[in-house]
Amino acid sequence: MNNVIICLFASAGFDRATQGVAGAGRRLADALGGQLHAIMLGAFTATDEAALAAIADHVSVATELADYQPETCLAALTQLCQPLAPRAVLLSNDTYSQELAPRLAFRLGGSAVADGVELISHSEHLQVKRAVYGGKAVATIALKRNPAVVWLRARAFEPAAPRDVTANVEPAALTLTTNSATRIVERKSESAGEARLEDAQIIVSGGRGLGGPEPFEDLKALAATINAQVAASRAACDAGWCPPTWQVGQTGKKVAPGLYLAVAISGASQHLAGMSDSKVVAAINTDADAPIFKHCRFGIVEDYKKVVPLLREKLAAARQ
């Protein structure tokens, strides 16, 4: 069958990244001539349920899975997916999805791919494009066992437009067992004081070239001027200059803002892997040969200490 299933966790909400998963699922189902089934795990808001019902053909809600336990969720998804015999199961890039995707593929007898940035439908098998070698190349992977279970890179896919037909939102039919060899005993959450970096439309990011934690205060002031969020390279985070939650890169956050301003960041491949989906990249660096200049649309070869205050002044004046 050509059904496509999307699995969404309430912990992420129906944010921009999750909307992209729904959009990818809608377009893939249409390309395959099948239906889109949405499985919502946890307690979503009525607004989120209605928004998804305007995109999917069928919506099932499993509110009993609000307390995420990996073995229980894995068993539940297996129960819900198997009867539909899907061609593809799509998940977001949250921690839960990344943990479950390969195991779910095994349970369903399919194949798994991580960090997909493009889906290509063929008559027999799905193909997925993803970055490899730290973002230096893009691989096209043919998944020869159905279903293809893929978690998608955040903000790599556009949302889908609402349809005229609205699907019914129904409780998921589950038979859950509590006998599990493993369980989560403690959770730690990021501070809720700031918006998620993955959802930012403008990001001002600092690197090792800043020389210490104090310059990040200047970046914060610049970011506040243009309603942006502050990020950092791994080197800056490892040095303790800023929180690890700010890290963008292969081992950090994957972001796709409309504007990414890289300040004193050389542009190593590991960092580029996290921000390569940015619509516009601008850079400030004293090294004219820095790799970042090969990947940006606008670049200034200058000491950031001279550029950032002037840039903040000009932008503040423009906003007034």
- Cβ–Cβ < 8 Å for 59, 49: yes
pLDDT at 192 over 80: no
Q: Which residues contact 319 (CB under 8 A, 6 or more apart)?
A: 225, 226
How far is Cα 104 from Cα 218, in angstroms, rounded to an integer? 45
Least confident of 41-55, 84-98, 134-148: 134-148
Q: Looking at domain 197-319, which CATH architecture does it have?
A: 3-Layer(aba) Sandwich (3.40)
Percent of the chain with pLDDT over 90: 69
pLDDT at position 191 is 57
pLDDT at position 145 is 93
pLDDT at position 178 is 65
Superfamily name and number for 4-171 = HUPs (3.40.50.620)
Instruction: Take residue 275 and report the two structure tokens written for it.
Output: 């921000």
pLDDT at position 137 is 83
- Cβ–Cβ < 8 Å for 100, 112: no
Strands 111-120 and 126-132: antiparallel
CA 134: distance to chain centroid?
Answer: 17
Residues of the chain with CATH 3.40.50.1220: 197-319
How far is Cα 276 from Cα 299, in angstroms, rounded to an integer? 16
pLDDT at position 29 is 95
pLDDT at 12 over 90: no
HSE toward the beta carbon, residue 20, CA cutoff 13 A: 21
**For residues 34-39, average pLDDT:** 96
Phi/psi region, residue 260 (left: phi>0; alpha: psi -120 to 50; beta: rest), is: beta
Amino acid, single-letter form, for residue 303: D
pLDDT tens-digit profile of 96-143?
Answer: 999 999 999 999 999 999 989 999 987 778 999 998 876 778 899 999
In angstroms and rounded to an integer, the radius of gyration of the C-alpha atoms of the chain is 21
Report the candidate in 313, 268, 306, 261 with the shortest Cα–Cα distance to residue 286: 306
Q: Which residues contact 114 (CB under 8 A, 6 or more apart)?
A: 98, 101, 102, 130, 150, 151
**For residues 184-188, average pLDDT:** 79
- Cβ–Cβ < 8 Å for 29, 88: no
Mean pLDDT in the chain? 90
Q: What angle do CA 182, 187, 191 make, to 5 degrees?
A: 160
Residues of the chain with CATH 3.40.50.620: 4-171
Between these two residues, 320 and 167, which has the higher pLDDT value?
A: 167
pLDDT at 187 over 80: no
pLDDT at position 124 is 78
